[in-house]
Amino acid sequence: MSDNAPNDSKRKRRETKSRKDQHKKEKIDSRNKRFPGSKHVSAAENVQPSIDSKCHHAMPPALDIIFGRCDGDLTRAGEQALAWMIAPNKVEKFLCDVLEKKTLLVRRGSSGQGDYFSGLFSKSWIEELFSERKLHYNRDFSLTQYRDSVRTTLKPSLMKAAFSEDVWSLFDGEEKASIRILRPQEHSDPIWKIISSLESFMGSGGGANAYLTPGGSQGFAPHYDDIDAFILQLEGKKSWTVYQINPEWLVRDSEIDEMSDEQRECMNLFPQHPLMSSEDFTPEQVEKYLKPCVEIVLEAGDLLYIPRGMVHQAKADEDSLHVTISTGQRNTWADFIGEAIPPAVELACRSDAAHDCARLRELLPRDYMSFMGIVHSDRNDDPRRTQFHKEVDRLITTYVMKHLDYDLIADRMAAKFQHDRHRPVDVLGDTEKSSSKVRKDSQIALVAKGTATLTIEGDAAVLYHSCKNTRVYHQTDPRGLEFEQEDAYIIEPILMSDPNIPIAVKSLGHSFEDIRRVVGFLLDEDIVKLV
């Protein structure tokens, strides 16, 4: 019998007991309400997600250096990848002066650096994917055109794998259809590594699309996005126009109550830092409310950064290919506060002092629908409306605000981030799966820093991580690994460690049986490795 047998038996008994323990199930159900959509799995569970085979192309030399350092520091790699994209601009200056504030243009094509982004993606690469029938309509790519001020998606109902000749006939023919490759990071190692490392550096999920547009055509209407976009021109030329609101429609805070209907429409159409992407804008809306602030032609090697919410459109001067790398989606103060309010209300009503919050649980006024709602919103002289507003404000201020748990919400946002992000494992070198068992003289190290979030929920320590993620968005369920609360004292120093400095398992300060159990789970989940 192996040395692990007693501990394995103990673990099996614990798991069996947990499955039969109804009280435990109720607690997990309660936690799932706090982290909607999460799936708690036992720490012994080990799901191996599939990753599609990738086309193999040479990594740009600069990225080869950035991602060739197997030090586990994805944040460092993300900063360096950003520095490479926006060079010669400095990252610190970009974050302070440009991010979310204004556009940034980097010219390289006209100075003999047209191959700066060579190796990220290419038209020949796309041809290869189509010839091998790896791309499905409206799942992996879409065909679009913008004509007579109307954007159209061609073959919108098809979901089958595309035949190469069908796609190119629409690209080269009179349709002049633009090909939008969705998630090119599934096929391109460099794009995946840029996105995954940027996610660590920026602290929010990222993504990418590639756009191949026939010369003399346009694929999309004027619009704005809900992400910050880095446009990397890979091949050909494309004319871009970015807009800002015409100053005559801008409204000062002191003038909001006196806005005209047109000013209000402008504010509603073009909000600053929007949380959602826009619909397509008409030429009339653009002409009336906006004016160009950037009008340029991007050549191969050039970069254009467009902040979230800035309206833009582009037309290919010749066959053009660019990749848009995105960051910053749904990672705002509004998202944080939106997550904070519901659990604060729940906590106020079930805390030890819940008897003090009885007013929160009383019925609403029997007739409130007769004076509240849009149809009654102009009845400013109705005292019932005034009293209702005051009571809601009072209840929120008195009972809800004091139960806002900012650390809980930070953990909740972090758990969502771990699920949203792209696979971080193997971005910095390849991680070899060890078949060795944990011994008393073993040493371990983090595979990559920042890929797991530890929190306490009830009497359990729960570890959310992204190490089983793939390049496919949400291909795997959220990984919420549940441990005994005391195990947090083993896990925390591991997560806080430097991936370059091995940790002796015997230094973790607990019984070897507990250490072996916990570390074994972390090994199974690719969070740590034996060194």
**238, 313 Cβ separation under 8 angstroms:** no
Contact yes or no for 211/322 (Cβ under 8 A): yes
- pLDDT band of residue 347 (cuts 50, 70, 90) is confident
- Token pair for residue 62? 């600069």
Residue 55 inside a domain? The answer is no
| Final residue belonging to a domain, choices 327, 350, 376 | 327
Q: Are residues 437 and 452 both part of a single domain?
A: yes
Contact (CB, 8 A) for 303 and 106: yes
List the structure tokens of 42: 């036992």
pTM over 0.85: yes
Q: What is the CATH number of the domain that holds 446?
A: 3.90.930.40
Q: Are residues 369 and 414 in the same domain?
A: no
Q: CA geometry: angle at 501 spanning 498 and 503, to 5°?
A: 100
Angle between helices 406-420 and 333-350 (to 10 degrees): 130
Residue 321 within a domain: yes
Query: Coil, strand or helix: which one is 313?
Result: strand
Based on the fold, state whether residues 370 and 248 are members of the same structural domain. Answer: no
Q: What is the spatial distance between Cα 309 and Cα 290, in angstroms, rounded to a whole number? A: 13
In a domain, 268, yes or no: yes
| Least confident span in 197-206, 274-283, 429-438 | 429-438
Which structure tokens are listed for 262?
């047109």
CA 207 – CA 327 distance, rounded (Å): 7
Contacting residues for 509 by C-beta, under 8 A, at least 6 apart: 489, 490
Based on its alpha-carbon atoms, the radius of gyration of the chain, rounded to whole angstroms, reads 27
Of the candidates 401, 289, 288, 391, the residue with the CA atom closest to the CA atom of residue 344: 401
pLDDT score, position 352: 60
Q: Pairing mode, if any, of strands 228-235 and 443-446? A: unpaired
Per-residue model confidence as pLDDT tens digits over 161-187: 999 999 999 999 999 999 999 999 999
Is residue 332 assigned to a domain? no
* HEC-encoded secondary structure of 271-292: CCCCCCCCCCCCHHHHHHHEEE
- pLDDT of 47 above 90: no
- Among 50-64, 370-384, 484-498, the least confident range: 50-64
Q: Residues 260-317: pLDDT tens digits?
A: 999 999 999 999 999 999 999 999 999 999 999 999 999 999 999 999 999 999 999 9
**Domain range enclosing 253:** 61-327
> Would you say residue 11 has pLDDT above 50?
no
For the ranges 205-209, 317-321, 354-358, 514-518, which has the lowest average pLDDT? 354-358
Does 31 have pLDDT greater than 70? Answer: no
Determine, yes or no, domain membership for 88. Answer: yes
| pLDDT tens, position by position, 381-403 | 999 999 999 999 999 999 999 89
Report the residue count for the chain: 531
Residue at 141 is within a domain: yes
With b for 16 or more beta-carbon neighbours within 10 A and e for fewer, the 14-38 pattern comes to eeeeeeeeeebeebbeebbebbeeb
Name the token pair of 71: 């030090």
The strand order across the sheet containing 178-182 reads 104-106, 303-306, 228-235, 320-327, 206-213, 178-182, 141-147, 150-154
Q: How confident is the model at residue 351 (pLDDT cuts 50, 70, 90)?
A: low
348 lies in the same domain as 298: no
